[in-house]
Amino acid sequence: MKKNVALACLIALASGGAETARADAPAWMHNLVNAPLPPHDEKTDAVVLYSEEIVNVQSMDKIRDTVRVAYKILRPSGRDHGTVLVSFNPQTKIINLHGWCIPAQGKDYEVKEKDSMEISLPKISGSDLVSDVKDKMLVIPAADPGNIVGYEYEIEESPLVLQKVWDFQEADPVKDARFTLQLPPGWEYKAVWRNYAETRPVSAGSNQWQWSVSDVKGLRAERKMPPWPGIAGSMIVNVFPSGPTASDRSFQNWAQMGNWYVGLTRGRRDATPEIKRKVEALTASAHSPLEKMQAIAQFMQRDVRYVEISLGIGGFQPHSAADVFQHRYGDCKDKVTLMSAMLKEAGIESYYVIINSERGSVAADTPAQLGAFDHAILAIRIPDEVNDASLMEIVKDQKLGRILFFDPTVTFVPFGQIGGYLQDSYGLLVTPDGGELVNVPKILDATGTTRHGVFHLDASGNFTAEVTETHRGDAAWEQREYLKSVTKETDKIKVIEALLSESLPNYAITKASIQNLEQTNQPFRFVYSVVGQRYAKTAGDLLLVRPRVIGVNASGLLETKEPRKFPVIFAGPEKDSDTFEIVLPTGYEVDDLPPPVDIDYGFASYHSKTESAGNMLKYTRTFEIKELSVPLDKTDDLKKFYRIIASDERNTAVLKPVAH
């Protein structure tokens, strides 16, 4: 069951079972009834009239949070704000939870914690989930346009680190938001703002401070926009105990956070006799350090199943290599831990790299933040004598020398490469000396599709063709990842059918085969035969033929009525090339050819050419994504880029009968 469907069902159950009462909403909500709304447009579903978070740090092991939020619903699609989700786990307990509705007419409604229900839903498609994180879901009645809904809850937590993040900017415009911090005597804090102009706090009591912001713009989603942490305003607050109670759970920079993570992982990579024997078996026939690394990597990718695990501190602390090896499953940090232990037994040093799976979540100037990362990969120290073209993700570190980034979680990415979604991203390299923010480089020319087709055209405009598609990098592992779950042979060509349906109105695949499905160190290939009906169009005695037979590189991404608000983020580097040879019908020759295209905007380039030689029409083109982010001031260039490609993809060559 998909998460959104399951959640909708749960909301229906909860709303049907809740015992709503007529009870006055609190004064802080009634004070908002006549409050002015923040600036918004006609498409705004709801606005935040008021939000408040009060953080009361009582000790290193006890923090109380009080949260209050009130929305005014403006459109029917804003009703979702009547559903409140509050997370809890063994380290975080909910003290109280209330929700209210102030209708535009009539008396107030109230729902209490007893009206809520506990839910726990998988968050990663294709993975098992082991988690002690749950949500209390409370459905507030009458969350209708014109009404005000609000809630208040209090939680008590035993924090892993002494850090709080105030996320005050969201999809909806915010009228007023406040954050209050109460510290024990002698404690100190450091606040860092991200994606928003800094606001100074005011003293609100003894060792108490309060920050406030007003009229915060809502952030409306766009296709291929940066991830939320990279654009939304937030404040990261680190607190520091005084004197002898100073704690290693407080950090001001990435180096200190790295030290904290070193403590979490200490002893976790110790190899057991069983692990040592497995490494000996895997590397028995290896003749070089590279072959040893490749053998261990393949074992980790193929034989250790990925299972998302989030149990208490286990959401951050990996299980021991011994446990992961014994059970043959683990999450990303668990797989990294076992692979690091096995590499060490083979004489290869490696280090944790904590990273975010969405590029742009962490930037070079991002302050040290525990929640900045959601993934773990390895940085492998490559011996000087190892030099091989397959090792594409090597960088030179001043202290460690040559290191290779590798993600053992992704099954079909060959050793030496890394998925485009992680390229040009920042991660925390954790070494015994602490943490260092490093950039995972992008690999140009490693990902893309090379397509070659020979098309025999007849005088009626029909064709028969033989096509070979070669996929590299991300394009290859995505195909392999999809096909591993396909059981019917007839379903395996659906990828080809989807491609052809974008370009051909009438076609039939007569034969298809797959090459190198399991051989990840080899390019993945589709080889297929296809027939097309009425592909060339007649105009009197002329035939109009589109040289770009298959494949679409144009995009309507920026063809929107509203102006673009955010940069465009690509999935990864890409270089595609097409070569189509169209054999002309007997008795026809070329009369006119489309013009060549030669454009390069720096972030991307496109080149195409149509030529005539004898009885053949030859079309060639290359499409390349070179920069993974297009800044806002260059999105007009990107729109032009795609429009030029679209024009080229529609262009036709003219064939005429041979004169006698």
> By three-state DSSP, how is residue 405 classified?
strand
For residue 471, is it within any domain? yes
CA distance linking residue 592 with residue 305, whole number of Å: 57
Q: Domain span at residue 621?
A: 448-657
Predicted TM-score (pTM) of the model is: 0.89
pLDDT score recorded for residue 251? 85
Write the CATH number for 340: 3.10.620.30
How many CA atoms within 13 Å lie on the side-chain side of 335? 29
Question: Could you give the number of structural domains in the chain?
Answer: 3
Phi-psi region of 424 (alpha: psi -120 to 50; beta: other; left: phi over 0): left
The helix or strand, by DSSP H or E, that contains position 301, with its residue range, turns out to be: helix 289-303
Among 117, 141, 152, smallest CA distance to 22 is for 141
Query: Would you say 464 and 531 are in contact if contact means Cβ atoms under 8 Å apart?
Result: yes
226, 245, 264 - which closes a domain: 245
Domain check: are 339 and 462 in the same one?
no
By C-alpha distance, which of 171, 182, 175 is closest to 214?
A: 175
**Could you tell me if 471 and 598 lie in one domain?**
yes
Say whether both 457 and 422 belong to one domain.
no
137 and 65 in a common domain: yes
Residue 250 belongs to a domain = no
Alpha carbons 392 and 149: distance in angstroms, whole number: 53
Q: Is there a domain that residue 317 lies in? A: yes
Q: In the prediction, which pLDDT does 11 show? A: 43
Out of 416, 440, 464, a domain closes at 440
Tens of pLDDT, residues 374-398: 999 999 999 989 999 999 888 998 8
Query: Do 290 and 238 fall into the same domain?
Result: no
Q: Residue with structure tokens 């296809």? A: 530
For residues 215 and 290, state if they share a domain: no
Mark the ranges of the chain whose per-residue pLDDT is less than 50: 1-18, 124-126
CATH number (domain holding residue 642): 2.60.120.1130
Chosen domain end from 388, 406, 440: 440
Domain harbouring 48, CATH code: 2.60.40.3140
Q: Does any domain span residue 385? A: yes
Residue 98 CB burial class (10 angstroms; 0-12, 13-18, ≥19): buried
In a domain, 599, yes or no: yes
Specify whether 237 is located in the same domain as 269: no
Same domain, 220 and 342: no
Closest to 553 (Cα-Cα) out of 451, 646, 447, 444: 646
What would the 3-class secondary structure string for 535-569 be? CCEEECCEEEECCCCCCCCCCCCCCCCCCCCCCEE
Structure tokens at 371: 């929640």
Residue pair 150/71 in contact by the 8 Å Cβ criterion = yes
Same domain, yes or no: 289 and 425: yes
Q: Provide the b/e sequence for 331-345 (b: ≥16 CB within 10 Å).
A: bbbbbbbbbbbbbbb
Whole-number Å distance between alpha carbons of 287 and 575: 34
Helical (H) or strand (E) element with 643: helix 635-650
Both 614 and 504 in one domain: the answer is yes
pLDDT at 128: 55
Judge whether 342 lies within some domain: yes
CA neighbor of 472 nearest in space, from 406, 529, 533, 516: 516
What is the per-residue pLDDT across 508-528, written as a single tens digit (0 to 9) for each?
Answer: 999 999 999 988 889 999 999
Q: What is the reported pLDDT for 371?
A: 87
Assigned domain for 328 exists: yes
**Is 298 contained in some domain?**
yes
Which amino acid is it at 425? S
Same domain, 423 and 467: no
- In the block, tokens 């100190």 appear at 188
Statement to judge: residues 471 and 504 lie in one domain: yes
Give Cα 230 to chain centroid, integer Å. Answer: 12
